């Protein structure tokens, strides 16, 4: 991992007798600092997030949130973001928490609400009552702060004033400055949003260290001022730090506990450029057998002028240039994800998409490219390996042809509703015969809405497609939500292969057919017939070999016939005359 050096400098010290500029000198009640202990695998934490956000919303300017990802529920699985910090474990220990989610309001001990004797941590049901108590108490110190981020240098400058309207009961206090990031998409158990749960107020750094900087003069009428600078790294634990999503919370405490009050810094973003747009990201395109894709890019305004229009040019393999004229309202520091219109191209074994935006004050970040390959090809008879999570009853899948018709499917699998059972955390294999010379899309589904998730170094839920013993497609998955669509995942040729001799001799005849069809070389099977839209138009169970199946009632057109016995699944196209 690349090591990023951080700079933190205190530019001015404590002052007494100088005039304040941003902090009020009028006695005020305390503000609430709610430090919430959470984790992406904590199933009840979304309830805690909602309670905390409601507190903040109902008390504007008086309640501030710091979400600390720590503990076992915050440990990331394969492919998960790591939201933990170097500060979380010590804070959790200080709080005395015994479960998650937990929260401490101003690090104050509420004996009747505490999780344990002497603890400042409380269960989520007590946060509101504790916050209301703190909000009703007078504070002997007022806190105000401003913050500025230079978009070119990524330098954060924080100026803090603390004015003492009364005497502190202790000779020294501690100033804490938390740097949080908002609007980070990621997984969250219990959030029912897959990997798109919106994480807010996520602690990424303390500018003042674990327990803050000392305020040495804490008597009535004294004014403390301090300026900090901090060079913000590009990422935290490989999670991009988006400058426009940062917030700074400053608060004063009596030692390591008992926060008296705090405030959020008024944030501004500045740039040395007037017109500077960055092509921040081009979303990766999976290998595909399709001849059209829909590129997605992220643009960012690094200039002081608001962006209202932008011509985005894109092409594939040096072909014709498409232009998308984006319009909107993007202020300094803001980003926007742009879905470009579909572009057609001639598929090659290796493909390159180029994206360009117009010249501006800095042309070093106006272009980019990504590569993607042609999807692998297999024979008509395939094996589908489904790697399940602990809840197989929620899992199902479909394979669709180029018209969108379902040609193979599976799940939901049997098992206890509360998880586990023989179909959990295992590989379920089925064989299928698909129509020839087709490009196939895969849909993975989860009825609960949290994808297929399981944390293990030796097993990862997902899907593999095998042809004649070779893997032609594989996808590891996690918290994808309710549905994951894998466009153009693989394709078939005209051969049947040798993987399944039983299916190689199955046929549905006559084809085209008018009144009835028959199935040879398959006995005791179920049949389903779907129209081209995917609607089930006929089904029957326990059919016998060579038994007549009436289709006279069907309209003329193209249909798909699915046959399934205990050992074989077969799909073919049928034309009704």
The pLDDT tens digits for 506-559 are 778 898 999 999 988 788 889 988 887 778 899 999 888 888 899 999 999 888
pLDDT of the residue at 433: 84
* β-strand partners of 352: 371
Peptide bond into 381 cis (omega under 30): no
Domain boundary among 311, 342, 373: 373
- State residue 187 phi and psi, 5-degree precision: -70, 155
363 and 412 together in one domain:
no
Indicate the residue among 244, 270, 296 that finishes a domain.
270
Answer whether residue 319 shows pLDDT above 80: yes
Tens digits of residue pLDDT in 162-197: 999 999 999 999 999 999 999 999 988 887 676 778
Q: Which among 5-9, 239-243, 419-423 has the top mean pLDDT?
A: 239-243
Which of 103, 92, 107, 91 lies closest to 127, judged by CA? 103
C-alpha 13, offset from chain centre: 41
pLDDT tier, 13 (very low <50, low <70, confident <90, very high otherwise): very low
pLDDT tens string 355-377 = 999 999 989 999 999 999 999 99
Higher confidence at residue 294 or residue 574?
Answer: 294
Sorted by sequence, the CB contacts under 8 Å of residue 193 that are 6+ apart come out as: 449, 481
pLDDT greater than 50 at residue 457: yes
Peptide bond into 312 cis (omega under 30): no
What's the CA gap between 370 and 76, in Å, rounded? Answer: 28
pLDDT in tens, 335-345: 999 999 999 99
Q: Are 114 and 131 in contact (CB under 8 A)?
A: no
Q: pTM of this prediction?
A: 0.68
Same domain, 168 and 199: yes
Residue 364 and residue 382 share a domain: no
Burial of 345 (0-12, 13-18, 19+ CB in 10 A): middle
Rounded CA gap, 38 and 127, in Å? 14
Mean per-residue pLDDT for 381-393?
Answer: 92
How many Cα neighbours within 13 Å face the side chain of 272?
Answer: 6
- Judge whether 425 lies within some domain: yes
Looking at residues 392-400, what average pLDDT do you find? 95
Same domain, 366 and 331: yes
SS3 219: coil
Burial of residue 329 (CB within 10 Å: 0-12, 13-18, 19+) is: exposed
Residue of 270, 271, 266 lying closest to 21 (CA atoms): 266
What is the arithmetic mean of pLDDT over 197-204? Answer: 96
Q: What pLDDT is recorded for position 372? A: 95
The mean pLDDT value for 447-473 works out to: 84
Residues in the chain: 577
> Which pLDDT band, with edges at 50, 70 and 90, does 18 fall under?
low
Token look-up 């199955």 returns: 506
Largest CA distance in the chain: 101
On average, the pLDDT of the chain sits at: 90
The dihedral sign for the CA sequence 100, 80, 367, 319:
negative
- The residue among 329, 358, 373 that closes a domain is 373
User: Residue 314 is part of a domain; what is its CATH number?
Assistant: 2.60.40.10
Helices (H), 378-516: 501-504
Residue 425 and residue 455 in one domain: yes
Hey, is 169 helix, strand or coil?
Answer: coil
Residue-wise DSSP of 130-158: HHHHHHTSEESEEEEEEEEEETTT-EEEE
| pLDDT tens per residue across span 26-85 | 999 999 999 999 999 998 999 999 999 999 999 999 999 999 999 999 999 888 999 999
The number of domains in the chain is 4
Q: How many CB atoms are closer than 10 A to CB 496?
A: 18
Are 40 and 171 contained in the same domain? Answer: yes
Give bridge partners of residue 322 from the DSSP assignment.
Answer: 314
Average pLDDT over residues 107-113: 98
d(C-alpha 560, C-alpha 562), whole Å: 7
What's the pLDDT score for residue 505?
A: 60
Q: Within this chain, do residues 402 and 435 fall inside the same structural domain, yes or no?
A: yes
Q: Are the C-beta atoms of 244 and 224 separated by less than 8 Å?
A: no
* Structural domain includes residue 2: no
pLDDT score of 536: 85
Same domain membership, residue 364 and residue 257: no
Q: Is 314 exposed, middle or buried (0-12, 13-18, 19+ CB in 10 A)?
A: buried
Q: Is residue 1 part of a domain?
A: no
Q: pLDDT band for 455, please (50, 70, 90 cuts).
A: low
Q: Which domain holds residue 552?
A: 505-576
Q: Is the domain of 331 the same as that of 454?
A: no
pLDDT level of residue 460 (50, 70, 90 thresholds): confident
Do residues 57 and 144 both lie within one domain? yes
The reported pLDDT for the residue numbered 192 is 66
In a domain, 497, yes or no: no
Verify that 330 and 468 share a domain, yes or no: no
Query: Do 301 and 350 reside in the same domain of the chain?
Result: yes
> Token pair of 571, please?
């799909």
pLDDT in the model for residue 495:
66
CA distance 395 to 393: 6
> Running DSSP on this structure, what letter comes out for residue 17?
S
The confidence band for 456, taking pLDDT boundaries of 50, 70 and 90, is: low
What pLDDT is recorded for position 503? 47
DSSP states along 75-104: ---TT------SSHHHHHHHHT--SSSEEE
Mean pLDDT, residues 225-232: 98
Asked whether the predicted pLDDT for residue 1 surpasses 60, the reply is no
Categorize the per-residue pLDDT at 268 as very low, low, confident or very high, splitting at 50, 70 and 90.
Answer: very high
Smallest CA-to-CA distance from 343 within 298, 296, 294 is with 294
Residue 164: strand pairing partners: 141
CA torsion 64-149-198-305 (nearest 10°) is 120
Residues of the chain with pLDDT > 70: what percent? 93
Q: Is there a domain that residue 190 lies in?
A: yes
> Does residue 219 sit within a domain?
yes
Q: Tokens in use for 473? A: 């497609």
Instruction: Give yes or no for residue 472 having a pLDDT over 70.
Output: yes
Helix-, strand-, coil-residue percentages of the chain, each rounded to 5 = 10, 45, 45
DSSP 311-375: EEEEEETT-PPEEEEEEEEE-TT-EEEEEPPPEE----SEEEEEEE----S-GGGSEEEEEEEBP
Domain-located, residue 92: yes
Residue 500 lies in a domain: no
Distance CA 372, CA 403 (A): 23
């Amino acid at each position: 991992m690349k090591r990023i050096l951080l700079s933190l400098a205190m530019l001015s010290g404590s002052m007494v007798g100088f005039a304040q500029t941003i902090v009020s000198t009028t006695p005020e009640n305390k503000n609430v600092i709610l430090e919430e202990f959470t984790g992406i695998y904590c199933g009840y934490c979304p309830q805690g997030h909602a309670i905390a956000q409601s507190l903040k919303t109902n008390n504007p300017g008086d309640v501030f949130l710091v979400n600390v990802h720590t503990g076992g529920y915050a440990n990331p699985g394969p492919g998960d973001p790591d939201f933990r910090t170097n500060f979380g474990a010590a804070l959790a220990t200080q709080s005395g928490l015994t479960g998650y989610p937990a929260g401490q309001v101003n690090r104050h001990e509420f004996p009747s609400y505490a999780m344990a004797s002497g603890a400042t941590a409380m269960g989520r049901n007590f946060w509101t009552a504790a916050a209301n108590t703190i909000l009703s108490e007078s504070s002997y110190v007022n806190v105000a702060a401003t913050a500025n981020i230079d978009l070119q240098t990524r330098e954060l400058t924080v100026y803090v004033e603390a004015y003492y309207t009364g005497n502190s009961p202790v000779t020294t206090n501690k100033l804490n400055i938390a740097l949080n990031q908002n609007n980070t998409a990621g997984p969250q158990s219990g959030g029912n949003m897959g990997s798109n749960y919106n994480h807010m107020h996520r602690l990424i750094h303390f500018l003042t260290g674990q327990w803050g900087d000392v305020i040495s003069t804490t008597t009535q009428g004294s004014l403390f001022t301090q300026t900090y600078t901090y060079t913000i790294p590009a990422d935290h634990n490989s999670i991009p730090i988006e400058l426009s999503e940062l917030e700074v919370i400053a608060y004063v405490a009596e030692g390591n506990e008992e926060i008296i009050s705090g405030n959020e810094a008024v944030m501004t973003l500045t740039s040395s450029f007037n017109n500077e747009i960055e092509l921040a990201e081009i979303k990766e395109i999976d290998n595909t057998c399709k001849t059209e894709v829909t590129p997605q890019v992220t643009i960012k305004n690094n200039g002081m002028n608001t962006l209202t229009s932008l011509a985005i040019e894109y092409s594939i393999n040096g072909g014709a240039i498409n232009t998308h004229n984006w319009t909107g309202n993007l202020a300094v520091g803001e980003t926007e994800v742009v879905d470009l219109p579909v572009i057609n191209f001639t598929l090659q074994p290796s493909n390159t998409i180029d994206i360009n935006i117009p010249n501006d004050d800095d042309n070093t970040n106006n272009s980019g490219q990504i590569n993607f390959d042609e999807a692998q090809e297999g024979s008509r008879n395939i094996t589908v390996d489904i790697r399940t999570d602990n809840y197989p009853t929620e899992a199902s899948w479909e394979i669709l042809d180029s018209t969108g018709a379902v040609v193979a499917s599976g799940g939901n699998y049997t098992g206890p509703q509360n998880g586990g059972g023989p179909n959990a955390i295992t590989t379920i294999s089925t064989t299928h015969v698909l129509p020839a010379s087709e490009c196939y899309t895969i849909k993975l589904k989860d009825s609960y809405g949290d994808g297929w998730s399981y944390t293990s170094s030796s097993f990862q839920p997902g899907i593999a497609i095998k042809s004649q013993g070779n893997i032609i497609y594989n996808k590891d998955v996690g918290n994808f939500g309710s549905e994951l669509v894998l466009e153009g995942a693989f394709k078939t040729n005209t051969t049947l292969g040798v993987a399944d001799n039983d299916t190689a001799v199955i046929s549905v005849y006559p084809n085209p057919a008018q009144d009835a069809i028959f199935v040879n070389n398959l006995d005791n099977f179920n049949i389903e017939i779907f129209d081209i839209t995917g609607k089930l138009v006929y089904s029957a169970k326990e059919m016998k070999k060579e038994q007549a199946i009436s289709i006279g009632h069907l309209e003329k057109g193209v249909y798909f016939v699915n046959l399934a016995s205990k050992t074989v699944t077969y799909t073919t196209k049928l034309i009704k005359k």
